[in-house]
Structures are given as C-alpha cells and as structure tokens.
Chain A
Amino acid sequence: MSEVRYYQTGTFASGNRLLADEAASAQADPGRANAITKGHRACQGCGEALGARYALDAALAAAGGRVIAANATGCLEVFSTPFPESSWRLPWIHSLFANAPAVATGIAAALRAQGRTDIRVVGQGGDGGTVDIGLACLSGMFERGDDVLYLCYDNEAYMNTGVQRSAATPPAARTATTEPLPGHPGNAFGQGKNLPLIAMAHEIPYVATATVAELRDLERKVERAMELHGPRYIHVLVPCPLGWGSEPRETIEVARLAKETGLFPVFEAEGGEVTGVSPIRRLRPVEDYLRRQRRYAHLFADGTGAETIARLQRTADRNIERFGLLDGEHGSQRRPLLEVLAEADRGPQ
C-alpha cells in the first residue's frame, strides 16, 4: 500500500493528530521552546511576536537549545524587555539600533576563541534596524563571513516610534512621514531597498524570505540555515495591525495575501543563486491585499487611486514572472544573479 497523504491539514496547519511527531511543526510540540514567552507587551495580533517565536523555536530545536541572540533596538525589544522584565527564554543581549550584526559577530568570535562549536549565534531586528540603521554592520557581517544567522522581522516601517517610513516601506503606503497628498499617494515609488536581494549580492551561503502565514515553510528555512555555517539571512514578513491598519485577527491572512498576490515573493537562495520559490496556491489581485489595510485606504477613498493600484499590480505581476511564482518550477527559469539584480530596482517604473 502506497503512502497515504494527510488530505486534511497535515501539510499546512501546525500539526494533525494523525501525524507522527517528527512530521508535525515545531510549533505543534507542547514542549516547544517558547523563546518569547507570554506576558509580552506586543499589540493584539502582533505578527512580529509570532514570527520571532516561530523562527527562534525552530533555531533552538535545530541547535539542541544552544542559541545566543543579539537583538537590535526596535519594537521587538520594547515589547519584550521593559526593564526589569524579560520575555526571552534564551541567552539574549540588547544592543543599539545600528549594531546588532556586529554584536552577533563579536559573540561568534568569542565562542570561536573558546572553542565552543556547539553554541550558535542569531542576530535579529526589525526592518528599520536591518534595512536602514544597521545595514553597514550587516553588510560587514556578510562580507567577513561571520557564522551568524540574521533574522529580519519586516513590518515595513518604524512601528514603536509611531509608524515612520523605513526603506522597507512599500510604495503608496501611508505612514506618519508619508502622508498621502494630492499627487503624492503615500510612500514614493522607485525608492527603498530589497534587502534579500542585497544579501544575495554578497553571495553568502543562505538567503531566504518567509511570512508568518506559512509556518512549515519558515521552519524549514530556519532548519536549512542552521545546517549551514557562515553568514545567513532570513527575511520574515510580519504584519503589524497597528501600523498597517489591519484587524488583529487578520495578521496571518494579510501575510498570506502578501504572498498570494505576488507582492511579497517567498523564495530561497544559496550562494547567491535562487534555489526555490514557494509557489502561489490561489492567486489573488493586489486589491484584495490592499483593501484589508488602512495604510492603503486613500487608494480607495475616491476614484483617483486606480492608477496607483494598477501600478502595484504590475509590481506583483513582475515578481510573479521574475521568480516563477505561479508554476512552482523555478529551476527551469533560474537566471544569473546579475540579471536578477539588474531588475532589482524595486518596481517596474
């Protein structure tokens, strides 16, 4: 008798009563690490709290519980570590906004000097600390080949200081510093940085993107990253109900739509080459994603947003074409890195 698949939810939900323990996700394990424990002060439905637990629990499971984390300043610190309380259940060090990758580098160097090969190092931060303020330290960490997994929890703006634009804020989104005005529909097109592609350009061992909507995919990528040594980078999309103006209960649904519209391509790369993409299961127009977030409400307020929406749709279409998100057979379409980078100017304009 051939293997019978679990046609209920075995492949997509956290677990299933019929699955063997090793086939379920780390999150389905009642003995999971809970790297960030309850009582933290993240908002209702916080995607970052969820993404950090998913990623770190998987890293801890892969490293036998021996992980040290260096954290950049940001929401993640503010809600988890108001003095003297801490939600962290792993060795964890606070650092400045700019230097978490450098602190992680130092920890890795110290461990190497002590001959401790069993302990692994993780650096983590939000998109502000990673894409803007800490980019130089991160690029240096990549370049030096330090043995650190860096996790970026991307909620697309500076949330704990009041939703200011970062270089990860998408075009047309409203933030406190990109208020929509006539002729200026929120954040500008043609700016910003695509950090996963920048990381790939360093030709480091491993780069991946993920979302909190696909737990299995995220856990698998963390596991893969932990199998490798040297600098590794995982960029996790974590919706922010406060900054995005989405319903707290829809955090996972919004992340799912970011991927299913093609606006946020989910892929992985080794040594600078794309090795796999997470294909779109149920393709949706970008409008379905935009409408759930008040940061895009101005696009629907009067008739003037149609062109902007169409432009965002073209961005999604280009991602779908570029990464082969619809056929799931990226291998046949893999293109040289330089060609990908030549197009990596964030938007088709």
Chain B
Amino acid sequence: MSEPQRPFAITLDVGSSLANRTGAWRTERPRYVRRLPPCNNACPAGEDIQRWLYEAEPGGEGYEQAWRALVRENPFPAVMGRVCFHPCETACNRCELDEAVGINSVERFLGDEAIRRGWELPQPGEASGRRVLVVGAGPCGLSAAYHLALRGHHVTVRDGASEPGGMLRYGIPAYRLPRDVLDAEIRRILALGVELRCSEPVTDLDRATREGSFDAVLLAVGAQLARKVDVPGGTAAHVLDAVEMLHRLGDGEEPQLGRRVVVYGGGDTALDAARSARRLTGAEPLIVYRRTRERMPAHEEEVLQAEQEGIAFRWLSTIAAVEDGGIRVERMRLDEHGDPQPTGEFDELGADTVILALGQSPDLSFLADDSAIRLEDGTIAVDARAMTGRPGVFAGGDVTPGERMAAVAIGHGRRAARHIDGWLHSIETTEGPRGELARFEDLNTWYYSDAPATVRPQLDSIRRQSTFEEVVEGLDAESALYEARRCLSCGNCFSCDNCFGVCPDNAVLKPGPPGEPYAIDLDYCKGCGICAAECPCGAIEMIPEEI
C-alpha cells in the first residue's frame, strides 16, 4: 500500500464542504404554502382573481389565458367589470401600501378584449342526457346555465321578460352597462347550446317540470316586486316605483317624469333611478333618505358619481305625505342604535314626481302552495348545497336570503350548478373549507415598488347629465397591464427568485424554468428562516422539525 504523493506538509487530500451536511443543524424548516388571497376570499362570484391577474401580467398572449382563467368561474367579465361593486378591491392588501389594485378595471379590460377579439367560451362536455330547467334569465340563472352546460347537461332557461339578463337589463341603466356588452356575453353562453325561452314566465312550477321532463330545477327569479310604503296623499303628484321605471327603460320606453323629481330611498336602486331621471328630465332630482349618508346602503362609488352629476340629497327625512305640487317630509334623528326616529318637525318640498325605491321582494306566486319549499322572510330558504326543501329543486340569487348583488347571484349560479350536477349524478357535494387567509402582515412589502393606482377616465359630468352613454371608460392596454402588475400575489409564490437569492447556504433550488416551484435542499438548509422573512408575498412558512 503506497501513500499518494502530496505536497510538503500536507497530510489530507483536498475536500469540499459539500461533505458537511449542515441540514443536521436545523430545528425549523421552510415550507412553501398557498394562502387564500383576500381578493379571492371577498369575491362573491368565487373568482380566482389572483390567478387571472397572474396570467395577464405578461401582457400580449397572456390576456387570453387570463380571460380563460376568469371565465372558469364567471362568464360575465365585461358585465361585472362594469357593474360589480368590487368587494375584492376593498379587501385588497395593497390598500395598506398605496391603493387597491384596480381589479375591476382589469376584469373589464379582459372582458372587452374577449368581445373585441371574439374569444369563445370552452366547449361543453359530453352530453349527460339530463335536463335542467332554470327559471329566470338573470345573472344567477345564466351563470348556472353556463356551468351546467359545460358539464354536459341540457339546460332550458325560461324568463317572463322579453329579453334575457334579468336585473342586469331591467335594473341597471345603460350608462352603467351598455346593452351591446350584455348581449355579447349572453350570446356566448347561449352558443353553448343553452335553450332560452323569453316571454314565457313559469306560472306553475309542477306543470313546467312535468311537461319538460326536467331532472332538476333552479329557481332564480330574482326580486322584482317593489316594496310599497303607505304614503298618504292626493293623486296630483305622480308616484311610481323605481323597479318599474328602470324596467321600462330596459325595454326602451321613456317613462313620463315631471321636472321636479324626488326619489325616496337610499339603496343603489334609488341612485340608479335618480341618475336616470337626471338624464331623462335634464333637471336635478332630489334623493330623500331617512338616515345619514354614512348609513346609506348604496355604494360609495355610485353616490360620488351621483353627486358629480348634480343630484341633491336630503338626509334624515321621511316622506309623510304626497301633496298637490309637493311633498311633506318629516325630519328624523338617529337614536343610540342608529335608527331614525321622528322629530315631529315637518318641511314642505316642491315635487311633481315621486319615485319610490324602498327595496324589492321576490314574486313567489308561481310556487302556488307548494309546502315543501320552505320560505324565509318572503324568500326561498336553501340548504348548504343550494337545495330548497323540495328534492331536486334548487334556488339562488335574489330570491334566496342574503345580499342582493349581481356578483353574489353569479356566485350562487356557479355553486348551484355544481350541486345540481352532483345531485344528477347522485354524488354528495359539499362546500370545501377555505384556506388560511394571506394577511398584510404576512407580506414583506419592502420589495414592492411604489405604484399608485390608475384612475379610470370618466365621462365628463356635463355630458353625462343628458345622455345614457357609458359613464366610466375602460383602461387602455398599457394601464391594464400596469394594474395587473400591481398585484402583490398575496400568499402565493409568483417566481420572484428572492428565496433563491437570499439563502446564505445556497439551499434553495430552482429545478425548473421560471414559473415552476422552488425546492429546499434539506441536506444543507440550516433553517435560518431568511427565505421566509424575505419572501415578498408570504408564501413560505417555517415549521418545527421533530427533534
């Protein structure tokens, strides 16, 4: 046995520190996690917003990918990019940094691109041979029809109105939602083979189900009846309800209004009615509401736009009587619970038209006296899988309890479709648990560049006092890209390479191309936690080792 030749005074061969598995020092290890982004958590339609923003970020071809990711949940991006009150943006973590990401405006941009470029929805799956009746062609019904058609079911949608869209057409004025946009997105759903029968209200549910041999039914008739209030008064002043007025506008009629319009109510419908009246009469209407501005249920955005259009408000007032050429209002005060209480002080206001916008309720006469379908405060009660008390009959949208909003209805439609599909295949379906929320504190915001939000251009307020042209314009491609890239990707890795860069032990591996996940080399990771501390989006957590 001969010793290898080595230099003078050298007794060992050169070795690499790779022989030293420093992973043995570790008491904690990093783990990549996926947290629930607050936007996704807040979206009533159940969109994976962060995913479609991620797809849009490269721009160019990415827009179609983004749109396709978006319509996996919601087939109405161009519509909702206009009318949604975007709770996602209220929840956005970027609010705490500068301003929320303009999610809604990117959604609209993608929706408009899809219409402009003629992108079609995915093709339906193999025909199941099952038939589903959807009652009501509003956002809930059409959303459900879309998701049911994708699953291969034959869907018939019936509606009493002459055109589909429900409240999207008959509740939301054209200056917020142009009809060609609505028509384009409905057409795409119908192109999947959904059968639409307008002007065919369902008056007898049993008969309709039997005659059409339907295997399941979704009730999505909305809440179309205006709530009445007992206002004593003469017949001199013209009193009408907002639902009816907006419905007639939706059908292209012009309701007769005087010059001095008073709208009674504080919800979005009141605002829509007042802003429509502003355009129809050329004069400035007055909104009378019994509480204060802070307690108004209408969304802030609409209130601001109404104020810009010159609409006046009278807070803390109720209409006590409608009189000849005017109304008598009683001043209110808020009690300790924030409820309005009468003061006994009255004022006279000039008015020749009073529009009542005091809430709506569903018309449930078509149920006849079906005792199996349980009601709850004048709405249809459903269980966790959207089924009514009667097996195979589901319900969603405004006809069920809960917040009345287009995005909520679209989400109901999607969820109902999933449960109907399960029912038709005799599969038990449940709503899965929600993931852990990605909080602002989970982020390391140092890494995000400062980037205030783009503001969507708005139609000049003089011009919009007289026309039903769309008020809010869309973003151009550059601004949409900028907005998409403002996303912080809360709680989910977006391949910024920071963990790979900051590890003092080279123990973060990048096995694939950009976009592929990273890996931890546990042979060498000492568990210092720098990767987790310096992850911009909070997608790494440290978990204890078993020692």
Contact = CB atoms under 8 A, between A and B. Distances in A.
* A and B form one complex: yes
Interface of A: 1-2, 4-18, 24-25, 27-28, 30, 34, 37-42, 44-47, 49-50, 53, 80, 83-87, 215, 241, 247-253, 256, 281-282
B460 interface: no
Contact of B449 (A7, A34, A39): A7
A13 B17 contact: no
A14 B496 contact: yes
Given A44-B527, A53-B506, A249-B530, A39 B501 contact: no
B486 interface: yes
Contacts, number: 176
A27 to B, nearest CB: 4
Nearest to B20: A39
Contacts of A249: 528-530, 532-533, 542
- Among all A-B residue pairs, the 3 with the closest Cβ atoms: A14-B501, A249-B529, A15-B497
Interface in B447-464: 447-449, 451
B530 A14 contact: no
A7 B482 contact: yes
B337 to A, nearest CB: 43
A28 B513 CA distance: 12
A38 B507 contact: yes
27 contacts: A4-B478, A6-B449, A7-B449, A7-B485, A8-B488, A8-B489, A9-B496, A14-B498, A15-B497, A18-B485, A27-B497, A38-B507, A39-B16, A39-B17, A39-B19, A39-B524, A40-B505, A41-B17, A41-B20, A49-B504, A50-B503, A50-B504, A84-B15, A85-B19, A87-B16, A215-B502, A252-B533
B16 A86 contact: yes
Given A17-B515, A85-B17, 12 more contacts: A12-B447, A13-B497, A14-B497, A38-B507, A39-B17, A44-B526, A50-B503, A50-B530, A84-B13, A86-B17, A248-B529, A249-B528
Interface string B508-540: 001000110000010110111110111010000
Interface in B4-19: 12-19
Given A8-B449, A249-B529, A86 B14 contact: yes
Given A7-B485, A14-B498, A249-B532, A44 B17 contact: no
A38 B18 contact: yes
A122 to B, nearest CB: 19
Given A12-B446, A39-B524, A47 B504 contact: yes
A1 B496 contact: no
Contact of B17 (A38, A45, A50): A38
B449 to A, nearest CB: 5
Given A18-B57, A251-B530, A8 B485 contact: yes
Contact of A1 (B20, B448, B478, B494): B478
A249 B29 CA distance: 12
B500 interface: yes
A24 B497 contact: yes
Given A7-B451, A13-B496, A14-B500, A84 B506 contact: no
A289 B13 CA distance: 45
B528 A44 contact: yes
Contacts of A46: 504
B487 interface: yes
Contacts of B360: none
A37 B17 contact: yes
A89 B114 CA distance: 53
A211 to B, nearest CB: 13
B462 to A, nearest CB: 31
B266 to A, nearest CB: 38
Contacts of B534: 252-253
B332 interface: no
B351 interface: no
Interface string B49-60: 000000001110
Given A7-B449, A85-B16, A28 B501 contact: yes
Of A10, A38, A85, A249, chain B has the most CB atoms within 10 Å of the CB of: A38
A9 B482 contact: no
Interface in B168-223: none
Given A28-B501, A85-B16, A85-B17, A8 B524 contact: no
A30 B530 CA distance: 19
Given A39-B524, A46-B504, A253-B533, A11 B25 contact: no
A247 B28 CA distance: 14
Contacts of A25: 497, 501
Contact of A13 (B12, B57, B536): B536
A80 B17 contact: yes
Nearest to A89: B16
B341 interface: no
A47 B495 CA distance: 23
Contacts of A251: 504, 528, 530
Contacts of A18: 57-58, 485
Which of A13, A25, A27, A37 counts the most B-chain CB atoms under 10 A from its CB?
A: A13
A20 to B, nearest CB: 11
B12 A38 contact: no
B283 interface: no
A84 B7 CA distance: 13
A229 to B, nearest CB: 29
Contacts of B506: 34, 37-38, 53
Contacts of A86: 14-17
Contact of B494 (A17, A24, A53): A17
Given A17-B515, A30-B510, A44-B528, A9 B449 contact: yes
B17 A87 contact: yes
A297 B514 CA distance: 43
A14, A27, A44 interface centre (most CB from chain B within 10 Å): A44
Contacts of B305: none
B131 to A, nearest CB: 46
A206 to B, nearest CB: 24
Contacts of B451: 5, 7
A50 B451 CA distance: 30
Given A44-B528, A45-B504, A13 B498 contact: yes
A18 to B, nearest CB: 6
Contact of B504 (A5, A28, A42, A250): A42
A42 B17 CA distance: 11
B514 to A, nearest CB: 4
B349 interface: no
A2 B476 CA distance: 12
A256 B16 contact: no
Contacts of A253: 533-534
